[in-house]
Structure formats: structure tokens, C-alpha cells
Amino acid sequence: MDVLSCLKYLMFIFNVLVFAGGTLLAALGLWVAADPGGFQALVAARAVLGAAAWLLLALGIALALLGCLGCCGALRRSRPLLLLFFILVSLVFLMQLVGAILFLVHWKQVRPERFLSELRRNYRGDEGAEVFSTAWNTLMVTFSCCGVLGPEDFGNGSRFQELHPGVPWPRACCARDGLLGDLLGWEQCQDRSPGYIHEQGCFSTFGRTLQRSLSLPGSCSLAVLGIETFAMFFSLCLYYNFD
């Protein structure tokens, strides 16, 4: 097999990977847009989160189509298709880089105050049936945390206190016997006895968990950028060698 044939099949393989990566991104965008857990209701900037979901979907579809375009250009030995592929992948590559930089810049600017004001204004308690309260209850039980900064978030002036006067914080803030087990002690939790209440706020707890979880998607994003780089390189090589 000569070098040109080897490049052609490598180009095909890398574009299959681009197609697969685009399909996964589109599926992730659909999942975030559908919001099955209702967690968009937790954040003040949920409109931004929804826009990011549709952006992921559009980017995934674009990458999938580009993967098909690159495969066709390589197998048909079409210079116009290869040139078009190189230009479009370059644009997508630059968009991903800009998006990653903006994410890193704005991630450091996230402050708990916006989440706290939303919680104090909208959280109704353990029995709250609306999406906001249900999502917060799920978050506090799952991550063993309480409020945004701590139990004091449910104090005077909050919607929770208006609906439940005399109750210091919701039961979701109390320690349990296992994730879905019974409370260890509601009276001890109200007395703020050590071991019976979660003193840590959800902002710091969830932030640490999210930072650990971002390592996998970050690695995947770097892998996709690497694949795109190789695909652009192979498309240029084939473009200048095809008649």
C-alpha cells in the first residue's frame, strides 16, 4: 500500500471518529435540553444553560455531517470536498477553542449569591411539589449538603420560613441512614447536634464534585480537538496529492 492510499484510509478512520464524537455531543445536548432531572430549575441562569444545550446539539450535528463529508471526500478523491471539509473543520475547531476559553473564564466568576437569592425566594420545603423545590431536595439529599452556604440560608426572610414558621431548615438538610434511609433524628437535627445535620453548603460540595467530574469530559474534549487536528492535516495532504 502506497503512502497516498494509507493517508486516504487514515482520513476515513479519523472522520468516522469525528462522526461518532458528533453523534455523542448531539445526544448529550438533547439530554441536557430535555432536563430529565429538573436541575435547570436550580440555577438563576437557566436560560444560558438551555442555550448551551442547543449549542451542544448543533455542534454535534455539525461534526457528524463533517465526518460524512470527510469520508466522501477521501473515498471519492474529491479535492473540492476535501477543501470544503478543511475550511469547515477549521471553523468548528476555532469555535471549540473560543468556547473552552470562555467557559474557563466565566466558571471562575460564578458566585453563590445568585443561587442564594433564588433559593430564599423560591424554595418551599420538603413537600414542595414544584420543580425548583423538588430539585433542591434531591440535590441536598444526594450530596449531603444544606442550602447554598449552609443551614442559615433558610432563616428569616426566606420563603421557607414564611411557609414553615418555627422550623429552622428542611428535613432534606438532616443526616440519614443511607442515601434513601430514614432520618437519624429530626429533633437532634433541629437542635443542630453534630452528626445529625449537614453543615456544609451545596455550593462548595457540588462545586468540588463538579470539578472532579469535569476531568473526563475535559479529556474527551481534548481528544476530539486532537482528532480534528489530524483530520485537517490528512485532508490537506490528500488535497495536494489528488489530481
What confidence tens digit (pLDDT) does each residue in 185-199 have?
999 999 999 999 999
Pick the more confident residue, 189 or 223: 189
Q: Give the burial class of 191: count Cβ atoms within 10 A of its Cβ; 0-12 exposed, 13-18 middle, 19 or more buried.
A: exposed
Query: What contacts 116, CB < 8 A, 6 or more positions away?
Result: 147, 148, 149, 153
Confidence of residue 44 (pLDDT cuts 50, 70, 90): very low
Pick the more confident residue, 132 or 209: 132
Instruction: Look up residue 222 and give its amino acid.
Output: L
Q: Considering only CA atoms, which of 146, 148, 155 is closest in space to residue 198?
A: 146
Q: Are 159 and 120 within 8 A, CB to CB?
A: yes
Q: If you search the block for the grid coordinates 489530481, which residue do you land on?
A: 243
Q: What is the pLDDT of residues 147-159, one digit of tens each?
A: 999 999 998 889 9
Bridge partner residues of 197 (DSSP): 174
Predicted pLDDT at 222? 74
Is pLDDT above 70 for 39? Answer: no
100, three cell numbers: 473552552
Q: Are 204 and 51 within 8 A, CB to CB?
A: no
Most distant CA atoms of the chain, gap in Å:
82
Residues 136 and 142: their CA atoms lie apart, in Å, by: 10
> Is-above-0.75 flag for pTM?
no
Predicted pLDDT at 191? 92
Pick the more confident residue, 100 or 165: 165
Query: What residue ranges do the domains of the chain occupy?
Result: 3-110+231-241, 112-206
Is pLDDT above 80 for 107? Answer: no
Is pLDDT above 90 for 224? Answer: no
Range name among 1-5, 62-66, 209-213 with the lowest pLDDT average: 209-213
Query: What contacts 72, CB < 8 A, 6 or more positions away?
Result: 78, 81
Q: Give the burial class of 109: count Cβ atoms within 10 A of its Cβ; 0-12 exposed, 13-18 middle, 19 or more buried.
A: exposed
Q: What is the pLDDT of residues 113-128, one digit of tens each?
A: 878 888 899 999 988 7
Residues 231 and 236: their CA atoms lie apart, in Å, by: 9
CA 171 to chain centre: 28
CA 118 to chain centre: 20
Architecture of domain 112-206: Orthogonal Bundle (1.10)
Predicted pLDDT at 173? 94
Pick the more confident residue, 199 or 236: 199
Residues 103 and 122: their CA atoms lie apart, in Å, by: 27
- Per 3-state DSSP, the chain is made up of helix, strand and coil in percentages (nearest 5) of 70, 0, 25
